[in-house]
């Protein structure tokens, strides 16, 4: 077995070398064999001495096969700690509005490679693009004055957003039961998923809440919330396929109950799902018929202890397999380190809503930038908070 493999090398004899990152080892699979041998590192043990590895990322061979060259993540991540004080990087704390410097109950959030934020400004029926360090946002989907509607140039309470590498924006147009693609610089959107009518057919969506995209294939994954399922739309397809849930709403492992945030882990071909009304985070391998529990209570109970969640709305996963949860009704962000069911509060104060820099008020979305700085959509405070990694 492997645990978040990040690098692979093949020699001239067909032997395969794998940087088995979260197992902190290099595995050799001889040609044709599915049984690996550890040739560097110690399985499951992190270390900095000559015998150990710390999240190996890439593995290469020289021409004589004498040396393994291994790139470690140790130099990149030395700690998983964040400042407790948030910095408001978009919106005005506690003040809603439709002017360029304000937001109105923002929900979904996406960050591009330049650190630019794309915000689903829910009650303003628009998506705002917010450059790093800017005091105002620019409308890139919907109308800047907050006009709502169902026409191609309008949105109706969008609750999710993603942006691709070309600056094209995919808006989760929740109350219109569709996904709208706004090409870079466009003044109107094109419907790429859903029909605009709430229903449960394979070409329909009902109160969708979030979206993920495979950057290689263009495949979209959509949390079809009222249908308690995750749908997959292949690039340019007119209908979709159920890839998770769709078997009614309950706590059974084959079911989802009001799924909201989703994270696509391309490396493991799986989805991490904020299974909101079950108060847990689950992982569903694409093609599987059931989920495995990642965080929260397996029976759907809510709570505020370090192992419990209360209406989680979003989930994010870093390159080490650590899981970040917007634990909304507990007003906090929880970190579950890879393989652990015990969470640590890294932003907000458990059970206490507030508007000062230390508190959150129903956090909706959580995202990381390339430096693992934390961004939180602070829903009822009408702002985006940034927590710097120490």
pLDDT tens sequence across 58-90: 887 766 665 565 555 544 455 689 999 999 999
Do 128 and 119 contact (CB within 8 A), yes or no?
yes
Distance CA 348, CA 358 (A): 6
Q: What is the pLDDT of residue 25?
A: 92
Q: Is residue 224 part of a domain?
A: yes
Q: Indicate if 333 and 238 belong to the same structural domain.
A: yes
Question: Is 373 part of any domain?
Answer: yes
5 or 94: which carries more pLDDT confidence? 94
Q: Write out the residue range of the structural domain in which residue 93 sits.
A: 87-387
pLDDT score of 148 more than 90: yes
Q: What is the mean pLDDT of residues 177-201?
A: 97
* pLDDT tens track for 308-365: 999 999 999 998 899 999 999 999 999 999 999 999 999 999 999 999 999 999 999 9
Alpha-carbon distance of 383 to 137, in angstroms, equals 12
Question: For residue 239, what pLDDT is reported?
Answer: 74
| Same domain (yes/no): 242, 360 | yes
More confident of the two residues 324 and 37:
324
- Residue of 55 and 241 predicted with greater confidence: 241
pLDDT: which is higher, 154 or 77: 154
Same domain, 294 and 153: yes
**Mean per-residue pLDDT of the chain:** 93
Query: How confident is the model over 248-261, as a mean pLDDT?
Result: 95
User: Residue 134: which residues within 8 A CB-CB, separation 6 or more?
Assistant: none
In a domain, 78, yes or no: no
At CA 105, angle to CA 99 and CA 109, rounded to 5?
95
pLDDT at 51: 76
The two tokens of residue 73 are 């993540």
Residue 31 has pLDDT above 70, yes or no: yes
Per-residue model confidence (pLDDT) at position 70? 58
Q: 27 and 110 share a domain? A: no
Is residue 376 one of the residues assigned to a domain?
yes
The pTM score is 0.83
* Helix (H/G/I), strand (E/B), else coil: 276: helix
State whether 314 and 205 are in the same domain.
Answer: yes
Total of domains in the chain: 2
**What pLDDT is attached to residue 75?**
42
Is pLDDT at 40 greater than 80 in this prediction? yes
Q: What is the pLDDT of residue 73?
A: 52
Give the whole-angstrom CA distance, residue 115 versus residue 134: 11
- The better pLDDT of the pair 63, 225 is held by 225
Whole-Å CA distances, 77 to 28, 51, 59, 112, 389: 26, 20, 19, 20, 10
CB contact at 8 A, 253 and 278: no
Reading phi first (left if > 0) and then psi (alpha if -120 to 50, else beta), residue 372 is in left
Same domain, 270 and 169: yes
Task: Please determine, for residue 224, whether its predicted confidence score (pLDDT) is greater than 50.
Answer: yes
**How does pLDDT run across 333-344, given as a tens digit for each residue?**
999 999 999 999
Residues 6+ apart with CB under 8 A from 216: 266
In a shared domain, residues 176 and 52 = no
What pLDDT is stored for residue 174 in this prediction? 98
Instruction: Summarize pLDDT for 258-308 with one digit per residue, the tens.
Output: 999 999 999 899 999 999 999 999 999 999 999 999 999 999 999 999 999
pLDDT score of 146:
97
CA–CA distance, 384 with 390 (Å, rounded to integer): 19
Q: What is the CATH number of the domain that holds 56?
A: 2.40.10
Given 48, 72, 96, the domain boundary residue is: 72
Same domain as 152, residue 43: no
Answer for the pair 334, 324: CB distance below 8 angstroms, yes or no.
yes
> Is residue 57 located within the same domain as residue 92?
no
* Residue range 219-241: mean pLDDT, rounded: 93
Q: What percent of the chain is modeled with pLDDT above 70?
A: 95
Predicted pLDDT at 14: 86
Q: Is residue 81 part of a domain?
A: no
Instruction: Provide the pLDDT for residue 72.
Output: 57
């Amino acid at each position: 077995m492997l645990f978040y493999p990040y690098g692979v090398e093949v020699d001239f004899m067909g032997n395969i070398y794998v940087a088995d990152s979260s197992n902190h080892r290099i595995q050799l699979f001889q040609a044709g064999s599915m049984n690996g041998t550890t040739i560097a590192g110690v399985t499951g043990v992190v270390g900095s001495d000559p015998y150990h590895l710390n999240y190996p990322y890439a593995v290469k061979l020289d021409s004589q096969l004498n040396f393994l060259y291994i790139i470690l993540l140790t130099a990149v991540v030395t700690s998983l700690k964040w400042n407790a004080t948030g910095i408001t990087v978009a919106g005005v704390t506690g003040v809603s509005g439709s002017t360029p410097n304000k937001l109105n109950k923002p929900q979904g959030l996406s960050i591009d490679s330049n650190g630019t934020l794309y915000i689903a400004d829910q009650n303003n029926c628009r998506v705002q693009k917010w450059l790093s360090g800017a005091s105002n946002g620019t409308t890139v989907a919907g109308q800047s004055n907050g006009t709502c509607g169902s026409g191609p140039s309008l949105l109706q309470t969008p609750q999710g957003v993603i942006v691709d590498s070309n600056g094209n924006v995919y808006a989760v147009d929740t109350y219109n039961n569709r996904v709208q693609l706004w090409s870079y610089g466009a003044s109107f959107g094109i419907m790429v998923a859903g029909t605009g009518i709430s229903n449960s057919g394979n070409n329909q969506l009902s109160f969708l809440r979030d979206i993920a995209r495979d950057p290689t294939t263009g495949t979209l994954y959509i949390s079809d919330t009222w249908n308690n399922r995750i749908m997959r739309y292949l690039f340019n397809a007119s209908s979709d396929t159920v890839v998770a849930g769709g078997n009614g709403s309950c706590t059974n492992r084959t079911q989802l109950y009001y799924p909201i945030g989703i994270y696509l882990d391309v490396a493991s071909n799986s989805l991490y799902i904020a299974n909101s009304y079950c108060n847990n985070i689950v992982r569903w391998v694409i093609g599987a018929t059931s989920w495995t529990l990642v965080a929260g209570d397996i029976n759907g109970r809510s709570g505020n202890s370090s192992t419990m969640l209360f209406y989680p709305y979003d989930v994010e996963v870093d390159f080490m397999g650590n899981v970040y949860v917007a634990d909304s009704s507990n007003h906090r962000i929880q970190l579950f380190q890879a393989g652990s069911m015990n969470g640590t509060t890294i932003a907000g104060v458990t059970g206490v809503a507030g508007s000062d820099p230390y508190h959150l008020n129903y956090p909706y979305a959580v995202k990381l930038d390339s430096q693992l700085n934390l961004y939180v959509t602070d829903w009822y405070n009408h702002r985006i908070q940034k927590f710097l990694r120490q």
